[in-house]
Chain A
């Protein structure tokens, strides 16, 4: 890897935004867990924070970082380095810095207050979401040459995954309420990493009992170890596929 990722990590840490992000996560997680009387309530609040904040910060920060690195990429391209190496180094640098920020800011606190399988799953989901949305940001940045367009695209992607997708799912549930679409919904939820992470965590909590028949079907799938393994597999695919797409595009890009 030629140690380029080390320079990337050093550069990101010097950029104080990531330190600020760590601090905000730390503040949020500490206050959530010390305000709620039971840790499962705190976990639910943490879940919502993670599902909103982590994708947003990873998408926006990574996209802007990629655009600001255009000089850095150009400089490296004139050196005896593979394009593969350059792109991998940037990705590894970004996910290490952002993943570390999440782990220090939220992960450790969650594991202290909720040292269970559920807590561990939440931390792993948070880290996977960090990886997924960094990969998506790389794809957005490599696809558009214009900085404003690229950042716009990543904001739209966040809106889609965090809000609009749920709207579409709700709409479908109401429209086809008479049909047995519960199993189909499992498939649909695989198409959105945020939803997938949310369902995975909720199914491990007692609140799934409140979700009626759909909840029961979901519990049958996401509650089993096969379901959990399949979901994590899907989340990992969500990291790999956008990243490989961005890598293939970068290899053919003119700079």
Chain B
């Protein structure tokens, strides 16, 4: 459960988030969509406190996160175009992450197995291609069985097969009742996963609606068509 209350953020003289108010209920799978530069990544980063909002607050499972840090143990985050320390090997990154969350016992290594990541554990992060790094990011996001998954353009750079594996994994976690926030530009792949849509433009939330509401309003089946109708 995440609520952001009236978040404002300014980078220099550019207002990137304007009074953003969203709500993520338990079990919801939210698509965060909007044009480039609409503030999606900044919003995600403020939930993780990588960006600190000027005003407003983020409520995570009933608690204000300002100055908190332990709540991040419950979040699996997959950043956009993942960047990792170049000198470390995949195995080292993995073991460091496990080292940080030492008290977390049952690890979810399903994606690691499906992507055959263990075979390339010795490879340095700097030598990996963009898609391979995305795979590492995906594995890390799911590894600690988090309550909430935040995926920032997860399938960008992934090959069709790997992106299908990831999609199945997201559906599986959704079935377990976990909340997911996915930011993506590829609307066609969101169709079968999501329950809600948040549309952002120029740092503002244009609307947050459930998929059923959207279907009723627009009489369309495809998400891309629905969005096109609403925006137009």
Q: Does A248 belong to the interface (CB within 8 Å)?
A: no
Q: Are B85 and A80 in contact (CB under 8 A)?
A: no
Bound-complex Cα distance A78 to B88 (A): 18
Bound-complex Cα distance A248 to B99 (A): 26
Number of interface residues of A (CB under 8 A): 25
Per-position 1/0 for A64-83, Cβ under 8 A of B: 00001111101111111111
Per-position 1/0 for A1-26, Cβ under 8 A of B: 01110010001001100000000000
With a cutoff of 8 Å between Cβ atoms, the chain A residues found around residue B77 in the complex are: 78
Q: Are A80 and B72 in contact (CB under 8 A)?
A: yes
With a cutoff of 8 Å between Cβ atoms, the chain B residues found around residue A255 in the complex are: 45, 50-51
Q: Are A78 and B87 in contact (CB under 8 A)?
A: no
Per-position 1/0 for B54-88, Cβ under 8 A of A: 00000000000000011111010101000111111
Q: Are B48 and A3 in contact (CB under 8 A)?
A: no
Q: Are B72 and A75 in contact (CB under 8 A)?
A: no
Bound-complex Cα distance A15 to B101 (A): 27
Bound-complex Cα distance A126 to B48 (A): 40
Q: Are A78 and B50 in contact (CB under 8 A)?
A: yes
Q: Which residue of B lies closest to A84 (CB)?
A: B69
Q: Are A4 and B100 in contact (CB under 8 A)?
A: yes
Give the contact-size bracket for chain B.
Answer: 20 to 34
Q: Are B70 and A71 in contact (CB under 8 A)?
A: no
Per-position 1/0 for B118-147, Cβ under 8 A of A: 000000000000000000000000000000
Bound-complex Cα distance A11 to B100 (A): 17
CB proximity of A80 to chain B, nearest CB, Å = 4
Contacting residue for A15 out of B84, B87, B93, CB 8 A: B87
Q: Does B221 belong to the interface (CB within 8 Å)?
A: no
With a cutoff of 8 Å between Cβ atoms, the chain B residues found around residue A78 in the complex are: 48, 50, 72, 75, 77, 79
Most buried by B among A4, A72, A80: A80
Bound-complex Cα distance A7 to B45 (A): 25
19 residue pairs A–B, Cβ–Cβ below 8 Å: A2-B99, A3-B99, A4-B100, A7-B92, A11-B87, A68-B86, A71-B86, A75-B84, A75-B85, A78-B77, A79-B101, A80-B70, A80-B101, A81-B72, A83-B69, A254-B50, A254-B51, A254-B52, A255-B50
4 smallest CB-CB distances across A and B, nearest first, come from A80-B73, A71-B83, A72-B85, A80-B72
